[in-house]
């Protein structure tokens, strides 16, 4: 897939939903930058037409399936997803004449599940079980695809079209927007596509770019990056990031360091972004930005760190922005001190 397929138009007119994907701005995060003496930039992926970074993976997977003749008019795309990839795929299916069948763990936010249904996807909610279980949502979606005539399994975790989409679009955009001045790339990973695609591209441009994997508790990737140990401890309320295995998309990606962020730190970060930057963002953004701040501290002042602002907080209002829900999870809702009313 060429970078020009994603959102680039000299006239400012895009070719439908597909043409509006990508070419998102980098936003300087003033609070984190001033705190560290670095320039911390967030790739504004919530500005994609489907509302998240996963629009890029969804488009890359769909275009390659079309190019390979796997997806025929009137066909069905089946995917197991924590929500955002399914949302992007459903938008694209509507735009290009396909059906979307989405398998999603019932533990995901009501906002994402409801949105998928509003968009017209056939949604099957399933119990959240580990990947080793044959009824894990990813494995189940693969079996459903096999059993559905005219269906293609998106398989975002192990379909390399995912990371190729970011290698061909997100990485070049970051390089161009920073005029090659990026010192570090920091991102959490679920499928591995965003982190790996960008890391591979940036390392080709400048091997000195530091690529840092961010990870929540309850995921094995931090231990794997540090010592090759994929064992899991703890848990996290974040959705769509962390993993208990190394996906095909993540395999072989450069990892220079890893940072693990707890849920309370992630919450403090996203509330700070709302109150100080005016940005209403999801939980994985808290992991990313907190890890970018820690990376800036490790590198020292004067560096440019880029991370990804994955999606809007609107998809998590009933959880991350609800004090009662947070208290039930043993977490403290950040309070807005020191700001004048009005």
Residues taking part in catalysis:
54
DSSP letter for each residue of 121-186: -EEEEE----TTSTTSHHHHHHHHHHHSTTEEE--TTT-THHHHHIIIIIHHHHHHHTTT---EEE
211 φ, ψ to 5°? -110, 120
Q: Do the Cβ atoms of 241 and 149 come closer than 8 Å?
A: no
166-204 burial, b at 16+ Cβ within 10 Å, e below that, comes to bbbbbbbbbbebbeeebbbbbbbbbbbbbbbbbbbbbbe
- d(CA 31, CA 23) in angstroms, rounded, equals 24
Indicate the DSSP class of residue 332: P
């Amino acid at each position: 897939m060429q970078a020009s397929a994603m959102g680039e138009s000299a006239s400012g007119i895009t070719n439908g939903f597909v043409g509006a994907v990508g070419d998102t701005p980098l936003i300087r995060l003033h609070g984190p930058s001033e705190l560290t003496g670095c320039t911390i930039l967030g790739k504004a992926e919530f500005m994609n037409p489907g509302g998240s970074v996963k629009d890029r993976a969804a488009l890359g997977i769909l275009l390659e399936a079309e190019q390979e003749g796997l997806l025929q008019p009137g066909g069905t795309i089946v995917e197991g997803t924590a929500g955002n990839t399914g949302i992007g795929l459903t938008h694209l299916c509507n735009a290009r004449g396909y059906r979307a069948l989405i398998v999603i763990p019932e533990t995901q936010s009501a906002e994402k599940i409801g949105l998928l249904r509003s968009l017209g996807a056939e949604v099957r909610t399933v119990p959240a079980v580990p990947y080793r279980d044959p009824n894990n949502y990813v494995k189940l979606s693969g079996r459903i695809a096999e059993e559905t005539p005219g269906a293609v399994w998106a398989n975002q975790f192990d379909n390399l079209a995912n990371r190729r989409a970011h290698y061909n679009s997100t990485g070049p955009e970051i390089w161009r927007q920073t005029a090659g001045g990026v010192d570090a790339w920091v991102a959490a990973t679920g499928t591995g596509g965003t982190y790996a695609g960008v890391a591979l591209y940036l390392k080709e441009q400048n091997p000195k770019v530091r690529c840092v994997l961010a990870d929540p508790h309850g995921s094995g990737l931090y231990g794997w990056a540090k010592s090759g140990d994929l064992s899991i401890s703890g848990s996290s309320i974040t959705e769509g990031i962390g993993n208990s295995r190394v996906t095909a998309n993540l395999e072989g990606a450069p990892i220079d360091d890893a940072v693990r962020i707890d849920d309370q730190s992630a919450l403090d970060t996203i509330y700070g972004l709302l109150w100080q930057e005016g940005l209403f963002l999801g939980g994985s953004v808290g992991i990313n930005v907190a890890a970018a701040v820690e990376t800036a501290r490790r590198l020292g002042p004067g560096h440019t760190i880029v991370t990804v602002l994955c999606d809007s907080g609107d998809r998590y209002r009933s959880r991350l922005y609800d004090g009662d829900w947070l208290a039930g999870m043993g977490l403290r809702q950040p309070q807005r001190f020191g700001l004048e009313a009005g």
